[in-house]
């Protein structure tokens, strides 16, 4: 397969529509554009620091996409996108930047300012696809953010502005480019699988909070983080780290065991009563110290024995 076939398959050489030709004359709301570009420039610096540009690997590709996912979360939050809209934009952006970053890898990170612009327009394209950004002629300061108006088809925005030197860099480093695309497929598959687990963890977090009637700060103490961090996990504006996903799953398992012993409507009151079973403390005190499994074990042992 030639580089031209690869680029055609990736829509790298897809001629931009007139609508997308006009988009280069626009900027977003100035503070949002500044934040987005600064965040994406930092993403490129991080990728260089981790050795991605020098020696691509599966581990580095996975870490890159995880950082990129968090970057887009930050940008989407700044833009005021709702959780569902943000998730669609993140998914589309991560899929589309594989080829753009492949060019960056082939060029060894040369011209980072223009490369960050390509990433920026890839994000803008993803946002436009769901109807959140209006494209129009003019040189005004605003890149209008709209209320959701339903899905809309759009060709990849950054991909139509690749230059001759970009294609030449890919031609000269075709094996590396192909290797990068293969690594992307593996890394994105892992990332999307982890995201499914994160979604389940977020639902479990809400169940724990609601059933025990806990505040963000109390749940934060339970999992060794701040209440603000829990709020961001629960709202979907921050990714839940893998180790916390496991801890939340264990907490949900303990909650499920407790719900076999007590009615859900009564459980919040039960854990707020002092009991000899917990050394004169409340079960809640143990729960917020991260000992929810011990609470379930003790209640299970005593109530099963009594039964």
Provide the pLDDT for residue 87: 80
DSSP structure class, residue 273: S
Provide the pLDDT for residue 221: 95
Provide the pLDDT for residue 29: 53
Angle CA(144)–CA(149)–CA(155) in degrees, nearest 5?
Answer: 70
CA distance linking residue 86 with residue 92, whole number of Å = 10
Give the N- to C-terminal CA distance of the chain in Å, as an integer: 71
CA distance linking residue 156 with residue 87, whole number of Å = 18
| CA 249 to each of CA 4, 155, 210, 223, 242: distance values in angstroms, whole numbers, following the listed order | 47, 40, 16, 11, 11
Q: Please, which residues bridge with residue 145 across strands?
A: 133
| CA 267 to each of CA 186, 188, 256, 272: distance values in angstroms, whole numbers, following the listed order | 43, 40, 11, 9
Per-residue pLDDT of the chain (307 residues; tens, 9 = 90+): 444 444 444 444 344 444 443 333 344 455 677 777 788 888 888 877 777 777 788 888 888 888 888 888 888 887 777 777 788 888 888 887 887 788 878 877 677 777 777 788 778 777 776 665 543 333 333 333 333 333 333 333 334 456 777 778 888 888 888 888 888 889 888 888 887 788 889 889 999 999 999 999 999 999 999 999 999 898 887 888 888 999 999 999 999 999 989 998 899 999 999 999 999 999 999 999 999 999 999 998 888 766 5
Residue 38 CB-half CA count within 13 A: 8
Q: Which of these, 73, 42, 39, 46, lies nearest to 60 by C-alpha position?
A: 46
């Amino acid at each position: 397969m030639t580089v031209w076939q690869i680029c055609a398959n990736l829509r790298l050489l897809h001629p931009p529509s007139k609508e997308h030709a006009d988009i280069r004359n626009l900027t977003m709301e100035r503070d949002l554009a500044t934040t987005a570009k600064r965040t994406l420039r930092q993403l490129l610096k991080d990728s260089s620091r981790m050795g991605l540009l020098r020696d691509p690997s599966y581990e580095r590709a996975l870490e890159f996409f995880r950082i990129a996912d968090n970057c887009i979360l930050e940008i989407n939050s700044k833009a005021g996108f709702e959780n569902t809209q943000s998730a669609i934009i993140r998914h589309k952006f991560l899929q589309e930047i594989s080829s753009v970053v492949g060019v960056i890898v082939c060029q060894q990170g040369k011209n980072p300012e223009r490369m960050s612009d390509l990433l920026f327009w890839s994000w803008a394209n993803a946002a436009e696809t769901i109807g959140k950004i209006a494209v129009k002629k003019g040189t005004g300061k605003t890149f209008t953010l709209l209320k959701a108006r339903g899905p809309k088809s759009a060709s990849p925005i950054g991909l139509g502005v690749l230059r001759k030197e970009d294609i030449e860099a890919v031609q000269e480093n075709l094996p590396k480019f192909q290797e990068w695309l293969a690594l992307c497929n593996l890394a994105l598959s892992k990332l999307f699988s982890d995201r499914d687990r994160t979604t389940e963890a977020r639902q479990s977090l809400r169940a724990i909070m609601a059933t025990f009637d806990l505040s963000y700060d109390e749940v934060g103490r339970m999992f060794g983080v701040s209440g603000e961090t829990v709020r961001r996990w629960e709202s979907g504006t921050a990714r839940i780290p893998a180790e916390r996903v496991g801890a939340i799953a264990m907490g949900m398992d303990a909650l499920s065991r407790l719900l076999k012993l007590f009615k859900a409507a009564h459980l919040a009151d039960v854990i707020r009563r002092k009991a000899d079973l917990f050394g004169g403390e409340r079960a809640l005190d143990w729960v917020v110290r991260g000992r929810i499994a011990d609470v379930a074990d003790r209640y299970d042992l005593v109530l099963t024995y009594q039964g």
